[in-house]
Structure 1
Amino acid sequence: MSEIIDKIRQLTEPLLEGSDMFIINIKIKPINNIKLYLDSDSGLSISKSAEINRKLYHIIEEQQMFPDGDFSLEVSSPGVDEPLLQERQYKKNIGRTLLVTPVEGADQLGVLKEVREDKILLEVKVGKKKEIQMVEIPFATIKKTVVQVIF
């Protein structure tokens, strides 16, 4: 499967050149159901997704990656509850509330203020008085980060 995922990545990257779209993840189910998750700095529209889907589907068929033609392709953005996986996603979410689960220790809930090469800066409220503190969290210590939808 990893060979197919690598090939899909190689075929997709040229389609994204010149745009602000980028690959988040690629998953393949045993029934040759390919799920390509993309994101964009300016937001991923349905039309952008559909265009990449059409072009990539055609290339996969041309290259006969699945000789019997038995495959499906879905191109979409990751869901709201999907964890952030790349630094670029963090940058896109500056100013939003994140729930950061570290490899060790307690979760941190706060507003993302800055993204640096090796860490993020999170504004958190602590104590009964809800005093604001800036917390530095190195990427290496993050197990999972999910953007919180606040109404």
Structure 2
Amino acid sequence: MSNTQSDRLRALLEPLTAEAGLDLEEIQVSQAGKRRRLQVVVDGDEGVSLDTVAELSREFGKALDESDAMGDGEYVLEVGSPGVDRPLTRPRHWRRAVGRLVEARLADGVPGGEAVGRVLESDEAEDGGVLLEIPPVKGRGKPSERRLAYAEIARARVQVEFNRKEDKKSDASDEGDEKKEEA
């Protein structure tokens, strides 16, 4: 067993997170005035509800109080889910981003330097990769596909889309269905 506090905390909290059907993404301990702050980030394929965060926070607090993982001093526990700006660093992050628009900065030596596209599919294996649909330049032509190995991606993030065209189409068809039902 490892001696670092982060490893002890992970060993204590990861089974509780897995019981809830979630992944323990990050643990960070920092100083906040006289107290320490423990930030725990969890995520799941369907996201994380506020009720789930509250329940996990109670379970984590109980487990931490019963152990010596945080030592004797006071601490503040914060449990949450990753924000939209969380980097895509693991295959499960890419799997959860399927259908989303991403911006990827490519590793040195990989042609193009950067890729912006919609995630079509991703591999589960760490040595796998991701298939992106790259939009045409200036809206002309057809989209192309580009497969990137995870090792070719230096960093990547999901891009926030406020006006996605596919959403407008589905909204319009839903409105038509409602009008038909009213008639």
Instruction: Report the TM-score when normalising by structure 1.
Output: 0.90
Instruction: Classify the secondary structure of the residue corresponding to 1:59.
Output: helix
Distance 2:69 2:21 in 1: 27
**Residue number among 120, 132, 145 corresponding to 2:143 in the alignment:** 132
Instruction: Establish whether residue 112 from structure 1 lines up as the match of residue 119 from structure 2.
Output: yes
Residue identity over aligned pairs, in percent, reads 29
Instruction: Classify the secondary structure of the residue corresponding to 2:61.
Output: helix
Shift of 1:130: 4.3
Shift of 1:150: 0.4
Q: Deviations over 1:9-65 (max 9, x none)?
A: 111121123433101111111342111111011110111111111111111111133
Q: Deviations over 1:61-106 (max 9, x none)?
A: 1113334331111110111112122211211111111111112252
**Residue number among 58, 61, 69 corresponding to 1:54 in the alignment:** 58
Q: Deviations over 1:99-143 (max 9, x none)?
A: 111122522111000102310000002434243111111101211
* Map of 2:169 onto structure 1: none
Structure 1 portions without partners, runs of 5+: none
Distance 1:44 1:53 in 2: 13
Instruction: Establish whether residue 123 from structure 1 lines up as the match of residue 133 from structure 2.
Output: yes
Distance 2:71 2:10 in 1: 19
**Residue number among 36, 40, 43 corresponding to 1:36 in the alignment:** 40
Instruction: Classify the secondary structure of the residue corresponding to 1:72.
Output: strand
Change (3 A) 1:38 1:140: same
| Greater helix proportion | 2
Distance 1:80 1:8 in 2: 25
Q: How many residues align?
A: 150
Instruction: Classify the secondary structure of the residue corresponding to 1:131.
Output: coil
**Which stretch of structure 1 is more off in the superposition, 4-13 or 18-27?**
18-27
